[in-house]
Amino acid sequence: KLSKRLETVAKYIPKNAKFADIGSDHAYLPCYMVKRNNVRFVIAGEVVDGPYQSAVKQVKQEGLSSNISVRKGNGLEVIEPNEVDCVTIAGMGGTLIATILENGKNKLKDSVQRLILQPNVSASSIREWLLKNDWILIDEEILEEDGKIYEVLVAEKGDSRPLYELNKEKALLFGPFLMKEKNAAFVKKWTHEKKNWQRILTNLKSAPESEENTQKSKELERKIKLVDEVITNED
Ligand code: SAM
């Protein structure tokens, strides 16, 4: 059985897709998709040898080697031009996901129509990358599993600017869809972040005064204010 987190990623993979799962580890997502007869072909990419071997073993054990190609390599370099129409990257920090996308930009130019990205932290780095590189966010989810909160971002080619017109800073940080929906996981995540920031702020204020500390405090106060606005705003 797949985790709720990966189920959520799976939900957005189009039927009959050919997709690449980058940082696949045990290749659980590719195996699950092929077993459900939902996809035609999957590349499971891994850069680290241990997880790469786990993926090879899992795919062999399940007898799925004709549908899943396990490849060792960094990020999108395991994809040949026009090989896939969808890319999933799950279970890493948002900054790393954005770096993988940036370094593999040329692989996204042609056949890739959809990106499904699941950052554990720093989803805003991904939103910024998508905005800059003409990928439009078409949906977002936030969910809680085993006490952890995860975000899933779905993007297709297009101009994201309209999504950020009202308040770019807020929408990049919280997610244009998520801040509208404001579900329980969302409120929990940002209440928790706010508490963290408040703790750091208290420490900064009791530390010796410096230009740097004042700057940091201002920044934190600003972010705390944004959380208050988004969470308490009733519309
Ligand atoms: N995607 C799976 C999931 O969501 O359950 C596995 C997540 S695991 C925590 C992250 C995996 O990404 C690790 O196995 C790591 O080796 C791999 N990884 C990290 N950077 C990578 C890169 N640049 N290219 C390919 N794989 C990478």
Q: Which of 22, 57, 76, 92 to mutate to test the pocket of ligand 1 (most atoms within 8 A of CB)?
A: 92
Q: Which of 21, 26, 42, 47 to mutate to test the pocket of ligand 1 (most atoms within 8 A of CB)?
A: 47
Domain boundary among 129, 164, 199: 164
Does the pLDDT at position 234 exceed 70?
no
pLDDT tens profile 111-170: 999 999 999 999 999 999 999 999 999 999 999 999 999 999 999 999 999 999 989 999
Residues 65, 134 within the same domain = yes
Whole-angstrom distance, CA of residue 90 vs CA of residue 24 = 8
Residues 191, 128 within the same domain = no
Q: Minimal CA–CA distance to 190: which of 227, 219, 163?
A: 227
Residues 87, 199 within the same domain = no
Does the pLDDT at position 38 exceed 90?
no
Residues 155, 193 within the same domain = no
Residues 102, 145 within the same domain = yes
| 61 is a domain residue | yes
What is the residue-averaged pLDDT of the chain?
96
Q: What is the pLDDT of residue 232?
A: 86
Whole-angstrom distance, CA of residue 37 vs CA of residue 146 = 29
Residue 14 DSSP code: P
| 20 is a domain residue | yes
Residues 63, 18 within the same domain = yes
Residues 157, 193 within the same domain = no
Number of independent structural domains in the chain:
2
Residues 157, 189 within the same domain = no
Q: What is the pLDDT of residue 190?
A: 97
pLDDT tens profile 112-126: 999 999 999 999 999
Residues 33, 89 within the same domain = yes
ipTM: 0.99
Predicted model pTM: 0.96
Q: What is the pLDDT of residue 77?
A: 98
Give me the domain span that covers residue 31: 4-164
Q: Using a pLDDT cut of 90, give the percent of the chain over it.
A: 95
Q: What is the CATH number of the domain that holds 19?
A: 3.40.50.150
Whole-angstrom distance, CA of residue 158 vs CA of residue 117 = 16
Residues 80, 190 within the same domain = no
